[in-house]
Amino acid sequence: MTLEAHVPSGPLAEKWQNYLDRAKLVNPANKRKHDILVVGTGLAGGSAAATLAELGYNVKVFCIQDSPRRAHSIAAQGGINAAKNYPNDGDTVWRLFYDTIKGGDYRAREANVHRLAAVSNHIIDQCVAQGVPFAREYGGLLDNRSFGGAQVSRTFYARGQTGQQLLLGAYQALERQVRTGAVKMFPRREMLELVVMDGQARGIVVRNLVTGELERHAGDAVLLCTGGYGNVYFLSTNAKNSNVTAAWRCHRKGAFFANPCYTQIHPTCIPVSGQYQSKLTLMSESLRNDGRVWVPRKAGDARPPGNIPQDERDYFLERRYPGFGNLVPRDVASRAAKVVCDDGFGVGATRQAVYLDFEDAIGRLGESGVRERYGNLFEMYERITGENPYRVPMRIYPAVHYTMGGLWVDYRLMSTIPGLFVLGEANFSDHGANRLGASALMQGLADGYFVISSTLGDYIASGGGSGKVDISEAAFDEAVRTAEDRIQCLLHVDGGKTVTEFHRELGQIMWDYVGMSRNRKGLQHAIDTIADLRAEYWENVSVPGRKDTLNKNLEFAGRVADFLELGELMARDALHRDESCGAHFREEYQTEEGEALRRDEEYTYVAAWEFTGDAASPAMHKETLSFEAVDLSTRSYK
């Protein structure tokens, strides 16, 4: 099977307009005849559902939380990029596109990234019109700050709670449509199966998490907006309920999974403090605007940070990357921190941390100036660690944060299953091998507010999802049976290990061998041990309780079962990619200075994996990436 990306013709900057000019339209009176199923209510799902309902479609929306307002987009802190050039510092759509494609280490599809940059300005307009309280200057105009991987200030922000404010904007737009009746909201539902009929996505099976009932919903298209899979590592900055199940179930039904090994390890997280740890907390990248990262020059120096004189500190990012300093992209900053810790320079009790120091910023801006910019982040840090970051430097260490990989989609955001669209973090499309800061919010809202409204219409108007399907048809029966069987199996194993114990074990394998730095031997080891762990899971997991009631442990049991399959695919993908690029760092492929060494001639492609059965190895399909507008250069942030 060849992967057809359906990139429109014309010069790069005109492709999206060309698409819009030619996309087929659905008559307003006909839109209400179409049922659209939207799974997930983060920035992508919430904005898509609201927008499609405004256009007149009948939209059914599903989320696993008790309210659509709680999707994990809410936790995004730092900001959202747009090429407004309000600060007059030379930003353009082209520059945002270029920074994003370069930041992704030339492993993203050019046309998608350009579209993202092109619609970015509309997002800011839309959100301001909704009443999102972005930070402003005293003159009343919008304020910007800078973020990693860029030399302009293009990041809009709402204190350290940008994701919350953007999500509440989308949520409110969604609730407005609930009131009109165009959206029917189904909270506390988890999608367990996709229903494919005549080769098209025509429905889903969800579990009502309160009653345990398996419910059937038919539609003319399915939008999967279910976020990323970082929780495969057990410890990540993702919310506890974030999972891969909906995407993985679609993968098993024929949707290809692209670049699963591209996972972002965020440099500024609060370090692990003990075995009981249930999740990790991010400190926004925006802190690197004013914080300086350092370790002692002497390995094992146990003096308190304040007692270490300036000339005995190694500001290693500023030293290695004078051009970007503390604002190098996330993958570069994370690896640099790992290197100094691996070499014994780490700080704190575990030695797995580096300092993020605000002493200079407090000297420059005063404590109140720093509080104004980062107050809530400093509070959060103190609450978790018991230390006051205005007095002692923060200790930070990289943690799993975002997954660039996801279900393969074409330019229209459609997966390899017609009628199954994938938006936001759940797809693979825009960030290549590494995502720049403040670009996830941009992508989620670009997909939901501005892309899907046209591409879904084009699909429907071209005859996709035509004819009504009934939930009593055999395909639905079969999907329910599959979901039911899995639940029964999980409840009947009655083994000796908890779901969390298995999940922690899987996470440790992933972190050790499929984490920040990977090698052939380790990846092969990971593939073998994950397979063994998966086999053990189905013989030895313990899931007490019943299926016909709220049973979160049962929910988690299903999700971990899917993570145990995904983890192996991630390792396979990382093993096959004999190069380093972005967040995928293969130790065999590095420059003399220890930077990622790409192998463009062999690996300038998207690896899209096809599920071929439980007993068979997955099949890899390539989408070759061709670059018309940019030259592939070695990223340099020096």
Find the angle CA(402)-CA(156)-CA(271) to the nearest 5 degrees: 40
Q: Is 371 in the site for other proteins (CB under 8 A)?
A: no
One residue of 1, 141, 302, 615 binding other proteins per CB under 8 A: 141
Between 537 and 556, how does the x/- string for binding to other proteins read (CB under 8 A)?
Answer: -----xxxx---xxxxx---
Phi, psi of 542 (to 5 degrees): -115, 115
DSSP 250-280: HHHTT--EE-TT-EEEEEEEPPP--TT----
**Per CB under 8 A, 326 contacts other proteins:** no
Site residues (CB under 8 A) for other proteins, limited to 515-534:
none
Angstrom distance (rounded) from CA 64 to CA 480: 18
DSSP state of 297: S
In the three-class reduction of DSSP (H, G, I as helix; E, B as strand; rest coil), residue 347 is classed as coil
72/109 with CB nearer other proteins? 72
Residue 122 is a binding residue for other proteins (CB under 8 A): yes
Residue 75 engages other proteins in binding (rule: CB under 8 A) = yes
Please report how close the Cβ of residue 588 comes to other proteins at its closest, in angstroms: 37
Figure out which of the listed residues 153, 482, 498, 519 binds other proteins, where binding follows CB under 8 A. Answer: 498
Q: Smallest distance, Å, CB 623 to other proteins?
A: 30
Q: Is 210 in the site for other proteins (CB under 8 A)?
A: yes
Contact letters for other proteins, residues 431-470 (x by CB under 8 A): ------------------xx--x-----------------
CB of residue 298 to other proteins, shortest distance in Å: 27
Of 79, 104, 187, 507, the one binding other proteins (CB under 8 A) is 187
Residue 32 interacts with other proteins (CB under 8 A)? no
Q: Is 493 a residue that touches other proteins (CB under 8 A)?
A: no
Q: What residues from 564 to 623 belong to the interface with other proteins (CB under 8 A)? A: none
The Cα 562–Cα 377 span in angstroms is 33
Site for other proteins in 43-62 (CB under 8 A): 47, 50-51, 54
- Is 115 within 8 Å of 446 (Cβ atoms)? yes
Nearest to 499 by CA among 490, 486, 508: 490
CA 368 to chain centre: 33
Does 171 contact other proteins by CB under 8 A?
A: yes
Q: Is 213 in the site for other proteins (CB under 8 A)?
A: no
Helix axes 110-130, 162-180, angle to 10 degrees: 70
Return the residue of 380, 399, 409, 487 that touches other proteins, per CB under 8 A.
Answer: 380
Note if 330 is an active site residue. yes
Interaction with other proteins in 383-412: which residues (CB under 8 A)?
Answer: 383-384, 386
Place of tokens 């939008």: 223
At 422 the three-state DSSP class reads strand
CA-to-CA distance for 40 and 447, rounded, in angstroms?
Answer: 13
Decide whether 41 or 434 has the Cβ nearer to other proteins: 41
Task: Give the number of other Cβ atoms within 10 Å of residue 578's Cβ.
Answer: 13
Q: Is 146 in the site for other proteins (CB under 8 A)?
A: no
Closest to other proteins by CB, 314 or 501: 501
Query: Number of helices (H) and strands (E), helices first, in the chain?
Result: 17, 21
Which of 107, 145, 154, 330 is the catalytic position? 330
Q: Which of 6, 10, 94, 142 binds other proteins (CB under 8 A)?
A: 142
Instruction: Considering the complex, state which of residue 97 and residue 556 has its C-beta at the smaller distance from other proteins.
Output: 556
Q: By C-alpha distance, which of 106, 259, 116, 262 is closest to 627? A: 106
The answer for 176, left when phi > 0, alpha when psi is -120 to 50, beta otherwise, is: alpha
Residue 549: CB minimum distance to other proteins, A: 7
Reported as half-sphere exposure (CB side, CA atoms, 13 A), residue 560 has a value of 30
Q: Are 583 and 517 a contacting pair, CB within 8 Å?
A: no
Please state the closest distance from residue 262 (CB atom) to other proteins, in A: 23
Nearest to 635 by CA among 100, 25, 84, 95: 100
The smaller minimum CB distance to other proteins, of residues 417 and 451, is found at 451
Q: Does 126 bind other proteins (CB under 8 A)?
A: yes
> Nearest approach, Cβ of 521 to other proteins (angstroms)?
33
Instruction: Tell me which stretch binds other proteins (CB under 8 A): 108-116, 379-387, 460-468, 565-573.
Output: 379-387
Question: Is 52 or 295 the residue whose CB approaches other proteins more closely?
Answer: 52
- Alpha-carbon distance of 444 to 476, in angstroms, equals 30
According to CB under 8 A, which one of 208, 273, 508, 590 is a site residue for other proteins?
A: 273
Q: How long a stretch of residues is the chain? A: 638
- Phi, psi torsion values for 216, nearest 5 degrees: -110, 135
- Looking at the Cβ atoms of 123 and 332, the one nearer to other proteins is 123
Q: Please say which residue, 139 or 309, places its beta carbon nearer to other proteins.
A: 139
C-alpha torsion angle, residues 607, 613, 617, 618 (rounded to 10): 0
Footprint (CB under 8 A) of other proteins, residues 92-121: none
Question: 167: which residues sit within 8 A by CB, 6+ positions away?
Answer: 42, 43, 46, 69, 71, 73, 74
Residue count at the site for other proteins (CB under 8 A)?
Answer: 82
Residue 89, beta-bridge partner list: none
The set of catalytic residues is 330
